Structure 1
Amino acid sequence: MRAPLSPEADAAYIRFSSEAIQESEEVSAGIVLEYDAEGHIEGTEVLDAREHLPAAMLRAA
């Protein structure tokens, strides 16, 4: 799996589907889960991505 990286923000975003995001929750320092209207996880955002994710997983957006 690869995570597109926004170099300016040092944030990676992984999207699991195209459903509309209804709610976001920071579940750990720098880790944000995004949910659809039914409560399913639709994506995750990793802030300070270079700190949290292995370099092999990151690629420039």
Structure 2
Amino acid sequence: MSDITYDLEADAAYVRLADGRVASTEEASPFLYDLDVDGLILGIEVLGATRTLAPGPWRHARLPGSSRADTAE
């Protein structure tokens, strides 16, 4: 199950692909990859999202740190 957040101030979108403990983060600009201890990708952050991603509903994703229930209201 994936989950998307978008931070308007940072212009960064984050796609969480799996639950797990982040062991390291790798960069391949404009992307940051959160990896688990086995090197599998848990999440991907897109920096400069409005310049990198095609327009879409990700721009209305919940803010980082807010729960999914907060946006369902």
Larger radius of gyration between Structure 1 and Structure 2: 2
SS in 1 for 2:50: helix
SS in 1 for 2:34: strand
Identity among equivalent positions (%) equals 32
Matched residue pairs, number?
60
Note the 1:28-43 alignment, pairs <5 A: 29-43=29-43
Is 1:8 aligned with 2:9?
yes
Q: Tell me if the contact between 2:3 and 2:16 (Cα under 8 Å) persists in the aligned partners.
A: no
TM (normalized to structure 1)? 0.84
Root-mean-square deviation (CA, aligned residues, Å) is: 1.8
TM (normalized to structure 2)? 0.72
Structure having the higher helix fraction is 2
Q: Provide, for residues 22-59 of structure 1, a one-character-per-residue CA deviation record: whole Å limited to 9, x for no partner.
A: 100111x2211110011101100000000110111523
Structure having the higher strand fraction is 1
